[in-house]
Structure 1
């Protein structure tokens, strides 16, 4: 029998030591105070942290059980043409209606591969759910899931968060399994609190100034809006300035209101700056540290040095930002001879064009021609969705031109191992926390989206990210 003991280690607010977000001249601003304006969002983010930790812990438990039993999740039965016809006939609005995918509207031949993939994925989910149930049967699994507030900071590495038949899963393993996703949620909480803290500090300074002057805070704020009348001369000068800058003003009354608001805002900002300069302000909020991800190569194609600073690039040859990223990588390789670049396939959505290119590049790597085929793929525009990069004759011509054995290339492309390897790369990228291509792990530092050669090279040289992590 499968036994799971789930314990949420939620600590009541009363039991927690009151945390301090900042101090002004020794006077504390409690964390609870700055959380109040965005309480609903903080609660939502805490729940997201708990949910993410639970998903990662589930994966770790399954891996531990698989490793001990050497069991593998089975593959579903192939989807038949009859099943595809039945699915297509049962949902005509999905393929013919106003919200049907644009690609299938342009190319009806793309419907069947898309339906086959969808049905295969649904069957895989069902098969894996049953396999997971059987895998856990008869095992004693205890889980101590930290609550959201605890997960705001990295847990103690040696802390046990689960036991699988008395074999521990530690917090360090949990942090590694979902480092990037936890970081993003922690960073979102930090940024939300930082915004609220700025407002809280400003309000505290203004309230203290009003107390010093012996007047209500409302009177102090009212003083800032006095004498903000905008005269005709001042208004006309502003309108003329806007017109000269190519921004004609259509409503002078609104312009007058804006100028009056700007006067009051400038006056308030000047006072707040003066108060800040004369106060001793300690900001105690700590920005979460950047995660360090594993540098996984998995026999992927490699260019550059045998050893040295490493860049793992999760890309494909179809998406426009990916192709631009490849060109930036070429600039790095040309400028830094000691850099090692590992190319992993990342195809986040169904895309037969990207899949074909990934197969070509992997086979070229096996045949010792990865660099040449990569240049070939980047040197031509990707075909339209549903069309092939190369027909059979064109493929053999390509092989001859690049000095590759054409029979070996054709045989390689039909290997079932290729699809599994591409899926494994994509699954790895998702598990690391990436959602879009291109994505990178540069000396352990994760980056998402298009990156310039300059920024990537800077990290490779310094082994630290000089700015903000891309989300």
Structure 2
């Protein structure tokens, strides 16, 4: 096997940036190198993160390409973890399970440690086997990786640009952009926001410097004159103290309050001066904001509520995390307020969590048996059990099934199905590959959102005007990559 790695990138060198304009003030140019200077270490770090993210994504795309062309290649597997291996691991890390810094759940429920250790050891063994399989997969193939310069990665790459060659077959940048859309956007957005802050500071400094020059004084003297007479009298101080007390915030040190008020008054006068200078200046900001990503909306035969046709929302969620449970209720509010919305529920369990996993199995099986909404209501009505305990015991499952109007035997059989576990794992893997890191996460008409969302915020995004060309079609049962 031979691999040619062509890492062709410049990590934000001043020479590469010197000719590019970031803004113009009264006809004078602010260069990008000048704007980046106050944040040079951070910009360098973000540039390197862009290159690293592109490299990791290309590795995935290359492996996927090779697997497609090597039908005989088996998926990685590992030997079952033995009870002896679990005992050895626990004894070697006793402090992690019994010490003062051990998780409360582990100390409260020692029996929960065994499946957690088993899961951890299985994952480590699978990672090792995956690395070995990956090495075997690449043997005998000519792979050339062409990572663009970090500066090129600040904006989406041309779709047809070649970013890798596998046995002479090109991998276009369009696939890279699709596979890492959210992660690349976050880095690009962080760079843009850092530069915007620096541009605002640079504009302010330039305007103050020009005004001081016009008056024939130093910038320091200009600011001193603008903020003089900021002293705070007793009457003003007493008014402030009374208003704070009325708001439930009593002032214990009047002199510190006087200093605070004086600082606030001086800052307000400085701000007013800058605003007057900005109003009479010709300012043009040339920084280009990165385009937000559009992700594919994949229903994949998952449980859904709402209209058959209409505005689409795909949510990656579970039934244990507190924000998830709150968002389930916000989704109910959204569906009650808008009958034209369809919500598809995908399972997202980003860390080892048997309580969330059991609820996901219950939800999926109930959906298969025609009782998804009834099971969902049941799970949201109950408090999640403590870590290490179950939502339902074997003897209570038949009672649950009859209460939901489904066959108890069919529910029990479904819950033990490997297919259900694989579907939950696929949902989680898909969310992670999209770039989501926490539950709940959403794709709303192609727009990614993370964290707690109110019914109103979801409705606002759902009804935002999106051009026909920008929308992504719903794909049934497909893999996004």
Q: TM-score, normalised by structure 2?
A: 0.93
Q: 1:382 aligns with which of 351, 368, 384?
A: 384
Post-superposition CA distance 1:231-273 (Å, at most 9, x none): 3343333333333333222222222222222232122111111
Q: Distance in 2 between matches of 1:459 and 1:95?
A: 44
1:469 maps to what in 2?
none
2:160 maps to what in 1?
158
Q: Distance in 1 between matches of 2:79 and 2:6?
A: 34
1:4 maps to what in 2?
4
Question: SS at 1:392's partner residue?
Answer: coil
Post-superposition CA distance 1:104-160 (Å, at most 9, x none): 011111100110111011001100000000001111111111232221111111100
Cα distance, 1:16 vs. partner? 5.1
1:84 maps to what in 2?
86
Cα distance, 1:220 vs. partner? 1.3
The equivalences for 1:1-80 within 5 A come to: 1-10=1-10, 13-15=14-16, 18-70=19-71, 71-80=73-82
Q: 1:168 aligns with which of 156, 160, 170?
A: 170
Question: SS at 1:313's partner residue?
Answer: strand
Query: Is the counterpart of residue 279 in structure 1 residue 265 in structure 2?
Result: no
Q: Structure 1: where are the runs of 5+ without partners?
A: 466-471
> RMSD between aligned alpha carbons?
1.8
Q: Distance in 2 between matches of 1:237 and 1:49?
A: 53
Post-superposition CA distance 1:18-51 (Å, at most 9, x none): 2212111111111111211111111111111111
Q: 2:309 aligns with which of 298, 303, 307?
A: 307
Is the contact between residue 9 and residue 144 of structure 1 (CA under 8 Å) also seen in structure 2? no
Q: Structure 2: where are the runs of 5+ without partners?
A: 468-481
The equivalences for 1:52-451 within 5 A come to: 52-70=53-71, 71-451=73-453
Question: SS at 1:215's partner residue?
Answer: coil
Q: Distance in 1 between matches of 2:229 and 2:455?
A: 53
Q: Which region of structure 1 is more displaced relative to structure 2, 4-13 or 28-37?
A: 4-13
Cα distance, 1:296 vs. partner? 1.6
Question: SS at 1:447's partner residue?
Answer: strand
Q: Give the 3 Å change call, closer, same or farther, for CA 232–327 of structure 1 in structure 2.
A: closer
Q: Give the 3 Å change call, closer, same or farther, for CA 229–458 of structure 1 in structure 2.
A: closer
Question: SS at 1:5's partner residue?
Answer: strand
Q: Give the 3 Å change call, closer, same or farther, for CA 32–99 of structure 1 in structure 2.
A: same
Q: Distance in 1 between matches of 2:463 and 2:291?
A: 20
Q: Distance in 1 between matches of 2:254 and 2:220?
A: 30
Is the contact between residue 23 and residue 29 of structure 2 (CA under 8 Å) also seen in structure 1? yes
Is the contact between residue 18 and residue 31 of structure 2 (CA under 8 Å) also seen in structure 1? no
Instruction: Spell out structure 1 runs of 4+ moving beyond 4 A.
Output: none
Is the contact between residue 445 and residue 464 of structure 1 (CA under 8 Å) also seen in structure 2? no
Q: Which region of structure 1 is more displaced relative to structure 2, 95-104 or 219-228?
A: 219-228
Is the contact between residue 401 and residue 408 of structure 2 (CA under 8 Å) also seen in structure 1? yes
Question: SS at 2:463's partner residue?
Answer: helix
Cα distance, 1:464 vs. partner? 4.8
Cα distance, 1:225 vs. partner? 4.1
